[in-house]
Structure 1
Amino acid sequence: MKKLSKRLQKTKELIIETEYSPKQSVEILKKTATAKFIESTEAHISLNIDPKYADQQLRTTLVLPKGTGKTIRIAILLSEEKIKPEYKKQADIVGSNDLIEKITKGEINFDILLSTPEMMPKLAKLGRILGPKGLMPSPKSGTVTENIEETIEQFKKGKIEYKADRNGIVHLSFGKSNFSEEDLIENLLAVYQSIEQNKPSGVKGKYFKKFYICNSMGPSIQINLSDLKKQ
């Protein structure tokens, strides 16, 4: 069994109760951010769903009200005639067939790739490159769009995509450890509300099983689901 570091042992000692209210959990989350860098704050939510069934799958997007705390590089793929000067001011990379060639060569200098619908057939051959990195544009993630300017603005404001894995668990980042407690709570509640509002039609019985938060280098803190519902 792997031995815990002294830092992690010390942070785990701060977690006394089995479950905490959202406010208490975020207070502890801030105290357990003891790494030598600004950590991401993560949520891991176990749901009563079986994603192998079409009516129990969960994949959607939300805009975190206080942003992600990350600087993202956005690339736009569209036909030559649709490229506008303002796009080059908004995005980090703007291209057409030339961008496809760069991706083919393994030049991936972006975190999000937006594409117009007519360019998707040309991207199909790059699925093996983009897919494993989670960069393949899709309508469900909001990255296939005709409304380029608005979509860029949403992602810069804090739009994220999330989905349940094959075990019915959602993993996502909802901020950074240097956010204020108030901002983290607001983002956290937005995550809960989004998952609740996008409840798959095939869910039977209890939807949420367990809800944990943690820093990227810290211990897990379980949130009381009843307290979350009251917010």
Structure 2
Amino acid sequence: MAKLTKKQKEAHGKIDKNKLYSLEEASALVKEITNAKFDASVDLAVRLGVDPRKANQMVRGVVTLPHGTGKDVKVLALVTPDKEAEAKEAGADYVGLDEYLDKIKSGWTDVDVIITMPSVMGKLGPLGRVLGPRGLMPNPKTGTVTMDIAKAVSEVKAGKIDFKVDKTGIVHAAIGKVSFSEDKIKDNAKELLDTLMKLKPTAAKGIYVKSVYISSTMSPSVQLDPKVVA
């Protein structure tokens, strides 16, 4: 195991491993224990009492963070010519169709979100092997396959994110930056946690939220009291 640096030891020393922190306390502490020289992302990891292998226990959804993610999200709008102006006006970084489909076939995936129309999805099917593993395949459930291109682009730019429980039962999501105020981190975390509670599968038995951790890109994690979302 690699030795901890002096700053890392100091960060770990500020966390009481036997304590379950409130959302307010954790939002303040994650800022205090981050020593990165860049504006680190703040992440939330929520372990759920679900079996993701069963379709009726899959947890997936979207949430618009009240204060955005702090990240400049690059959006590709794969649309027909009649929708191009709408997509550009809404703030899409890349707009087009066939030329970008060809670029993706060649391995280009330098975007964070792809938004498209129902009529275009047939062309995206063959690109599933490229887009799927990167989480870039548009999906009607997350609002990235729609006829209202302007609204979809605007929402993503404003801080709308999608999340999905992984095979170990954990939902990971970036909820802001360390430069955010404590209140903004808290508000964004609460919005995600509240959304997760609304998505509790009826088939899930026992404790739904087993643990909640907040951390930054290079900080140790702080454990929250799961009751904050009960």
Q: With the length of structure 1 as denominator, give the TM-score of the two structures.
A: 0.94
Query: Which amino acid counterpart does residue 11 of structure 2 have in structure 1?
Result: T
Query: Which amino acid counterpart does residue 183 of structure 2 have in structure 1?
Result: E
Query: Which amino acid counterpart does residue 161 of structure 2 have in structure 1?
Result: I
Q: Is residue 208 of structure 2 the alignment partner of residue 173 of structure 1?
A: no
Displacement, 1:101? 1.1
Q: 1:104 to 1:10 in 2, by over 3 A?
A: same
Aligned partner of 1:7 in structure 2 is: 7
Aligned partner of 2:114 in structure 1 is: 113
Per-residue deviation, residues 80-119 of structure 1 (Å, max 9, x unmatched): 3x23424223211111212211211223332111110111
* 1:152 alignment partner, SS class: helix
Query: Which amino acid counterpart does residue 147 of structure 1 have in structure 2?
Result: D
Displacement, 1:206? 1.3
Contact 1:65 1:158 in 2 (8 A): yes
Superposition pairs for residues 46-195 of structure 1, below 5 Å?
A: 46-80=47-81, 82-89=82-89, 90-195=91-196
Q: With the length of structure 2 as denominator, give the TM-score of the two structures.
A: 0.95
Contact 1:213 1:222 in 2 (8 A): yes
Contact 1:130 1:136 in 2 (8 A): yes
Aligned partner of 2:216 in structure 1 is: 215
- In structure 1, list runs of 5 or more residues that go unmatched: none
Query: Which amino acid counterpart does residue 2 of structure 2 have in structure 1?
Result: K
Displacement, 1:18? 2.2
Contact 2:87 2:150 in 1 (8 A): yes
* 2:200 alignment partner, SS class: coil
Q: How far, CA to CA, are the matches of 1:33 and 1:75 in structure 2?
A: 32
Contact 1:78 1:96 in 2 (8 A): yes
Query: Which amino acid counterpart does residue 115 of structure 2 have in structure 1?
Result: L
Contact 1:21 1:228 in 2 (8 A): no
Q: How far, CA to CA, are the matches of 2:109 and 2:174 in structure 1?
A: 22
Q: How far, CA to CA, are the matches of 1:121 and 1:84 in structure 2?
A: 19
Displacement, 1:167? 1.1
Contact 1:46 1:169 in 2 (8 A): yes
Q: How far, CA to CA, are the matches of 1:56 and 1:144 in structure 2?
A: 23
Q: How far, CA to CA, are the matches of 1:143 and 1:109 in structure 2?
A: 17
TM-align CA RMSD = 1.3
Q: How far, CA to CA, are the matches of 1:185 and 1:120 in structure 2?
A: 37
Contact 2:83 2:149 in 1 (8 A): no
Aligned partner of 1:29 in structure 2 is: 30
Query: Which amino acid counterpart does residue 113 of structure 2 have in structure 1?
Result: I
Contact 1:114 1:143 in 2 (8 A): yes
Contact 1:22 1:228 in 2 (8 A): no
Query: Which amino acid counterpart does residue 26 of structure 1 have in structure 2?
Result: S
* 1:83 alignment partner, SS class: helix
Contact 2:84 2:96 in 1 (8 A): no
